[in-house]
Amino acid sequence: EAGVAQSPRYKIIEKRQSVAFWCNPISGHATLYWYQQILGQGPKLLIQFQNNGVVDDSQLPKDRFSAERLKGVDSTLKIQPAKLEDSAVYLCASSLGLLGNQPQHFGDGTRLSIL
Amino acid sequence: DQQVKQNSPSLSVQEGRISILNCDYTNSMFDYFLWYKKYPAEGPTFLISISSIKDKNEDGRFTVFLNKSAKHLSLHIVPSQPGDSAVYFCAASPLGGAQKLVFGQGTRLTINP
Protein backbone atom coordinates (compact mmCIF):
# COMPACT_ATOMS: atom_id res chain seq x y z
CA GLU A 1 0.00 0.00 0.00
CA ALA A 2 1.48 3.34 -1.04
CA GLY A 3 1.81 5.90 1.73
CA VAL A 4 0.94 9.57 1.82
CA ALA A 5 2.86 11.41 -0.90
CA GLN A 6 3.96 15.03 -0.53
CA SER A 7 5.89 17.39 -2.76
CA PRO A 8 8.16 19.22 -2.84
CA ARG A 9 10.38 17.87 -0.04
CA TYR A 10 12.14 21.20 0.43
CA LYS A 11 11.34 24.78 -0.50
CA ILE A 12 13.26 27.99 0.11
CA ILE A 13 11.58 31.32 -0.60
CA GLU A 14 11.89 34.92 0.46
CA LYS A 15 9.39 36.57 2.76
CA ARG A 16 6.32 37.98 1.04
CA GLN A 17 6.57 35.39 -1.74
CA SER A 18 3.96 32.68 -2.23
CA VAL A 19 4.37 28.91 -2.03
CA ALA A 20 2.20 25.83 -2.56
CA PHE A 21 2.45 22.28 -1.26
CA TRP A 22 0.79 19.19 -2.68
CA CYS A 23 -0.46 16.05 -0.96
CA ASN A 24 -1.82 12.75 -2.26
CA PRO A 25 -3.36 10.66 0.56
CA ILE A 26 -3.49 6.90 0.90
CA SER A 27 -6.00 5.45 -1.54
CA GLY A 28 -9.46 5.21 -0.01
CA HIS A 29 -8.76 7.58 2.87
CA ALA A 30 -11.61 10.04 3.13
CA THR A 31 -10.07 12.31 5.74
CA LEU A 32 -7.05 14.50 5.03
CA TYR A 33 -5.14 16.78 7.39
CA TRP A 34 -2.50 19.48 7.09
CA TYR A 35 -0.19 20.09 10.03
CA GLN A 36 2.52 22.66 10.72
CA GLN A 37 5.51 21.48 12.73
CA ILE A 38 7.85 24.20 13.98
CA LEU A 39 11.31 23.08 15.08
CA GLY A 40 11.25 21.64 18.60
CA GLN A 41 7.46 21.37 18.75
CA GLY A 42 4.85 18.77 17.96
CA PRO A 43 2.70 18.99 14.84
CA LYS A 44 -0.17 21.48 15.02
CA LEU A 45 -3.33 20.88 13.01
CA LEU A 46 -4.05 23.57 10.42
CA ILE A 47 -7.00 22.13 8.53
CA GLN A 48 -8.98 18.91 8.26
CA PHE A 49 -10.99 17.73 5.25
CA GLN A 50 -13.62 15.02 5.02
CA ASN A 51 -13.78 14.16 1.31
CA ASN A 52 -13.84 17.64 -0.29
CA GLY A 53 -15.45 19.45 2.66
CA VAL A 54 -13.69 21.31 5.46
CA VAL A 55 -14.29 19.80 8.92
CA ASP A 56 -12.05 22.10 10.96
CA ASP A 57 -9.94 25.07 9.94
CA SER A 58 -10.02 26.91 13.26
CA GLN A 59 -6.22 27.08 13.51
CA LEU A 60 -5.56 28.06 9.90
CA PRO A 61 -4.30 31.68 9.55
CA LYS A 62 -6.83 32.48 6.87
CA ASP A 63 -5.37 35.88 6.02
CA ARG A 64 -2.41 34.13 4.38
CA PHE A 65 -3.06 30.38 4.29
CA SER A 66 -5.53 28.56 2.06
CA ALA A 67 -6.16 24.91 1.29
CA GLU A 68 -8.38 22.96 -1.03
CA ARG A 69 -9.30 19.39 -1.84
CA LEU A 70 -11.50 19.91 -4.86
CA LYS A 71 -12.11 16.31 -5.97
CA GLY A 72 -11.87 14.74 -2.54
CA VAL A 73 -8.47 13.15 -3.18
CA ASP A 74 -5.39 15.37 -3.68
CA SER A 75 -4.97 18.54 -1.68
CA THR A 76 -2.93 21.72 -1.93
CA LEU A 77 -1.92 24.12 0.83
CA LYS A 78 -0.90 27.65 -0.14
CA ILE A 79 0.79 30.46 1.76
CA GLN A 80 0.59 33.98 0.36
CA PRO A 81 2.41 36.09 1.39
CA ALA A 82 4.91 34.10 3.47
CA LYS A 83 6.33 35.44 6.73
CA LEU A 84 9.53 34.46 8.52
CA GLU A 85 7.47 32.69 11.21
CA ASP A 86 6.08 30.30 8.58
CA SER A 87 9.40 28.44 8.46
CA ALA A 88 8.42 24.91 9.44
CA VAL A 89 7.76 21.41 8.16
CA TYR A 90 4.31 21.05 6.63
CA LEU A 91 2.93 17.57 7.10
CA CYS A 92 -0.01 15.97 5.35
CA ALA A 93 -1.81 13.03 6.92
CA SER A 94 -4.79 10.87 6.03
CA SER A 95 -7.11 8.44 7.74
CA LEU A 96 -9.98 6.19 6.71
CA GLY A 97 -12.68 8.42 8.16
CA LEU A 98 -14.04 10.32 11.12
CA LEU A 99 -15.98 7.52 12.76
CA GLY A 100 -14.25 5.40 15.36
CA ASN A 101 -10.65 5.70 16.38
CA GLN A 102 -8.55 5.65 13.26
CA PRO A 103 -4.82 6.39 13.37
CA GLN A 104 -3.58 9.06 11.02
CA HIS A 105 -0.82 8.19 8.56
CA PHE A 106 1.68 10.91 7.72
CA GLY A 107 3.71 11.83 4.69
CA ASP A 108 7.37 12.86 4.98
CA GLY A 109 6.52 16.55 4.86
CA THR A 110 7.74 19.66 3.06
CA ARG A 111 10.44 21.63 4.84
CA LEU A 112 9.86 25.34 4.17
CA SER A 113 12.56 27.92 4.83
CA ILE A 114 11.75 31.63 4.61
CA LEU A 115 14.68 34.00 4.01
CA ASP B 1 -2.13 26.42 26.58
CA GLN B 2 -0.26 23.13 26.22
CA GLN B 3 -2.95 20.47 26.55
CA VAL B 4 -0.54 17.56 25.96
CA LYS B 5 2.86 17.73 27.63
CA GLN B 6 5.97 15.61 27.34
CA ASN B 7 8.17 17.03 30.05
CA SER B 8 11.34 15.16 29.13
CA PRO B 9 12.92 16.56 25.94
CA SER B 10 15.37 13.67 25.82
CA LEU B 11 16.01 10.23 27.27
CA SER B 12 19.05 7.97 27.01
CA VAL B 13 18.74 4.22 27.64
CA GLN B 14 21.11 1.30 27.30
CA GLU B 15 20.35 -1.32 24.66
CA GLY B 16 18.33 -4.22 26.09
CA ARG B 17 16.92 -2.21 28.99
CA ILE B 18 13.42 -0.73 29.32
CA SER B 19 12.62 2.70 27.88
CA ILE B 20 9.76 4.59 29.55
CA LEU B 21 8.39 7.71 27.88
CA ASN B 22 5.84 9.81 29.72
CA CYS B 23 3.02 12.10 28.68
CA ASP B 24 0.55 14.23 30.66
CA TYR B 25 -2.65 15.86 29.46
CA THR B 26 -4.98 18.44 30.91
CA ASN B 27 -8.16 18.10 28.86
CA SER B 28 -10.55 15.56 30.41
CA MET B 29 -12.41 15.40 27.09
CA PHE B 30 -9.55 13.45 25.50
CA ASP B 31 -10.53 9.81 25.04
CA TYR B 32 -8.14 8.37 22.45
CA PHE B 33 -4.38 8.47 22.78
CA LEU B 34 -1.61 7.59 20.35
CA TRP B 35 2.15 7.37 20.20
CA TYR B 36 4.06 8.25 17.05
CA LYS B 37 7.72 7.68 16.28
CA LYS B 38 9.67 10.04 14.04
CA TYR B 39 13.03 9.58 12.35
CA PRO B 40 14.89 12.62 10.92
CA ALA B 41 13.55 13.87 7.57
CA GLU B 42 10.60 11.48 7.74
CA GLY B 43 7.00 11.93 8.81
CA PRO B 44 5.69 10.56 12.11
CA THR B 45 4.85 6.85 12.03
CA PHE B 46 1.95 5.48 14.05
CA LEU B 47 3.17 3.16 16.79
CA ILE B 48 0.39 2.24 19.19
CA SER B 49 -2.85 3.65 20.56
CA ILE B 50 -5.20 3.27 23.49
CA SER B 51 -8.83 4.13 24.09
CA SER B 52 -9.95 5.64 27.38
CA ILE B 53 -11.96 2.50 28.18
CA LYS B 54 -8.70 0.60 28.61
CA ASP B 55 -5.73 1.08 30.89
CA LYS B 56 -3.21 -0.96 28.94
CA ASN B 57 -2.54 -1.93 25.35
CA GLU B 58 0.31 -4.11 24.19
CA ASP B 59 1.88 -4.69 20.77
CA GLY B 60 5.06 -6.70 20.74
CA ARG B 61 7.81 -4.78 22.53
CA PHE B 62 5.57 -1.73 22.97
CA THR B 63 3.05 -1.23 25.77
CA VAL B 64 1.03 1.89 26.48
CA PHE B 65 -0.43 2.51 29.93
CA LEU B 66 -3.20 5.00 30.63
CA ASN B 67 -4.00 6.44 34.07
CA LYS B 68 -7.14 8.52 33.56
CA SER B 69 -7.35 9.79 37.13
CA ALA B 70 -3.83 11.19 36.87
CA LYS B 71 -4.29 12.22 33.23
CA HIS B 72 -1.06 10.44 32.44
CA LEU B 73 0.07 7.92 29.88
CA SER B 74 3.34 6.18 29.30
CA LEU B 75 4.99 4.13 26.59
CA HIS B 76 7.20 1.22 27.60
CA ILE B 77 9.66 -0.32 25.14
CA VAL B 78 11.15 -3.65 26.21
CA PRO B 79 13.82 -4.55 25.28
CA SER B 80 15.14 -1.33 23.77
CA GLN B 81 16.98 -1.66 20.46
CA PRO B 82 19.25 0.77 18.56
CA GLY B 83 16.56 1.18 15.88
CA ASP B 84 14.27 2.63 18.55
CA SER B 85 16.37 5.80 18.63
CA ALA B 86 13.97 8.47 17.38
CA VAL B 87 11.69 11.27 18.56
CA TYR B 88 8.48 10.00 20.14
CA PHE B 89 5.30 12.08 20.12
CA CYS B 90 2.30 11.55 22.32
CA ALA B 91 -1.04 12.67 20.84
CA ALA B 92 -4.62 12.85 22.09
CA SER B 93 -8.02 13.15 20.48
CA PRO B 94 -11.20 14.43 22.12
CA LEU B 95 -14.39 12.56 22.88
CA GLY B 96 -16.38 11.97 19.74
CA GLY B 97 -13.17 11.68 17.82
CA ALA B 98 -13.31 13.64 14.63
CA GLN B 99 -9.65 12.72 14.78
CA LYS B 100 -8.54 16.17 15.91
CA LEU B 101 -5.15 15.21 17.32
CA VAL B 102 -3.28 17.40 19.78
CA PHE B 103 0.43 16.56 19.99
CA GLY B 104 3.01 16.88 22.73
CA GLN B 105 6.41 18.44 22.08
CA GLY B 106 8.17 15.11 21.68
CA THR B 107 10.90 13.19 23.53
CA ARG B 108 14.14 12.26 21.80
CA LEU B 109 15.06 8.69 22.74
CA THR B 110 18.64 7.54 22.28
CA ILE B 111 19.52 3.86 22.71
CA ASN B 112 23.15 3.34 23.57
CA PRO B 113 24.96 0.10 22.65
B6-23 pLDDT, tens digit per residue, is 999 999 999 999 999 999
Mean pLDDT of A105-110: 96
A94 at B interface, C-beta within 8 A: no
DSSP string, chain A: ----EEE-SEEEE-TT--EEEEEE--TT--EEEEEEE-TTS--EEEEEEETTEEEE-TTS-TTTEEEE-TTSS-EEEEESS--GGG-EEEEEEEES-SSS----EE---EEEEE-
Total structural domains within chain B:
1
Taking 80 as the threshold, does the pLDDT of residue B95 lie above it? Answer: no
- Facing residue for A48 by CB, picked from B91, B100, B105: B100
pLDDT band with cut points at 50, 70 and 90 for residue A18: very high
Q: Are strands A31-37 and A19-24 parallel, antiparallel or unpaired?
A: unpaired
Q: Which domain holds residue B32?
A: 4-112
CATH of the domain at B80: 2.60.40.10
The answer to whether B99 contacts A33, with C-beta atoms less than 8 Å apart, is: yes
Domain A5-114 has CATH 2.60.40.10: yes
> Which positions in chain B touch A1 (Cβ < 8 Å)?
none
> Which positions in chain B touch A48 (Cβ < 8 Å)?
98-100
pLDDT tens, residue by residue, B55-73: 999 999 999 999 999 999 9
pLDDT for B100 equals 82
Count how many pairs of residues, chain A against chain B, have C-beta atoms within 8 Å: 58
> Which positions in chain A touch B94 (Cβ < 8 Å)?
none
CA B86 – CA B68 distance, rounded (Å): 27
The answer to whether A103 contacts B34, with C-beta atoms less than 8 Å apart, is: yes
| Residue closest to A87 by CA, chosen among A115, A62, A112 | A112
